[in-house]
Amino acid sequence: MKRYGILGYNIGYSLSPAMHKAAFKKLKLRSDYKIFDVKPDNLDEFFNNLLRSNISGLNITVPYKRKAYEFVKKFGTIDKKAESLEVINTIAIKDKNINGYNTDTLGFMRSLEENLGFNPTNKTVFIFGAGGAGAACAGSLAATVKRIYMFDVDIKKLEEFAKVFSKQWGKSKLIIIKDRRGAFRKAIKESVLIVNASPFGMGKEEMLIDPAFLHKRLMIFDLIYCVTKTPIMKVAKKRGIKAVNGLGMLLYQGMASFEIWTGRKAPVTAMKKALVQALKK
């Protein structure tokens, strides 16, 4: 039996096991998928043991997408797209060879088109969050959008990603916003898409944006999927602004990971059904 799983910290909410187990069952594959909830102090030990384990593949989630990149960069091979972002969310292991990929980019773009109906060509976008998910969103949009604004409460993380991004796309495409004062409001006013790639909305945190800033030309993509409607989505609905959560992105990035691991076409319908059922529990 082949073993797969998702690596992160405090990720008991993850729906990935339900999705992938449904896919294995549909295709009659003798495989299992579990959560590897690893404390930061134990992460190096987990990675050091990975190649000696019988794990065939991993999804990587918060807060380890950059750490996973560093590990695979040292001991294996990184896909070109993931290399440009210095972030991975998928690991495949075969015959002791380890490869890193970023399927978040594909998942985000497909959901953006199919679920939100948004065409990014020559548009201005505002991304909240400079972590692994925010990096994937920015990287997938970079070739087509006019401009990306990015905000994160962690200024160091924000500046570090801006340096990575500029290697591939130059310094003028991404503009970082370091506080929620004048430039912040101006950036939202210019934008036609807001992407929440931060944890805000999973708990009872304050709203990231003053609702008064939300204008009618906006669409909202909230990567959070563990709640059907996040605070910003609820406000958007009241104001007649189209908004979707991250369930579609989760499905499509998972589909891409599954196909990398197995070489089989992912049973998307079965995976989607499992996600919807798991979300209701």
pLDDT, one tens digit for every residue, the chain (281 residues): 999 999 999 999 999 999 999 999 999 999 999 999 999 999 999 999 998 999 999 999 999 999 999 999 999 999 999 999 999 999 999 998 999 999 999 999 999 999 999 999 999 999 999 999 999 999 999 999 999 999 999 999 999 999 999 999 999 999 999 988 889 999 999 999 999 999 875 555 567 788 889 999 999 999 999 877 888 899 999 999 999 999 999 999 999 999 999 999 999 999 999 999 999 88
* Domain enclosing residue 165, as ranges: 106-245
Same domain, 199 and 225: yes
In sequence order, what are the residues at sequence separation of 6 or more whose Cβ sits closer than 8 angstroms to the Cβ of residue 143? none
Same domain, 174 and 195: yes
Give just the sign of the alpha carbon dihedral 219, 87, 68, 198: negative
Q: Give the pLDDT score at 206.
A: 63
Supply the CATH number for residue 67's domain: 3.40.50.10860
Same domain, 221 and 146: yes
Q: Give the pLDDT score at 204.
A: 52
Same domain, 180 and 252: no
Give just the sign of the alpha carbon dihedral 24, 27, 28, 30: negative
Same domain, 85 and 34: yes
pLDDT digits (tens, 9 = 90+) for 154-188: 999 999 999 999 999 999 999 999 988 889 999 99
pTM: 0.95
Annotated catalytic residues are: 65
Residue (of 167, 117, 157, 118) closest to 141 by Cα position: 118
Same domain, 123 and 68: no
Same domain, 133 and 156: yes
Q: Give the pLDDT score at 257.
A: 99
Same domain, 130 and 9: no
Backbone angles phi, psi at 174, to 5 degrees: -110, 125
Q: Give the pLDDT score at 205.
A: 56
State the SS3 of 24-82.
HHHCCCCEEEEEEECCHHHHHHHHHHHCCCCEEEEEECCCCHHHHHHHHHHHCEECHHH
Cα 91 off chain centre by:
15
Same domain, 66 and 118: no
Same domain, 175 and 98: no
Same domain, 223 and 141: yes
Contact 60, 91 (CB under 8 A): yes
Could you give the number of structural domains in the chain?
2
d(CA 258, CA 277): 20
Q: Give the pLDDT score at 226.
A: 82
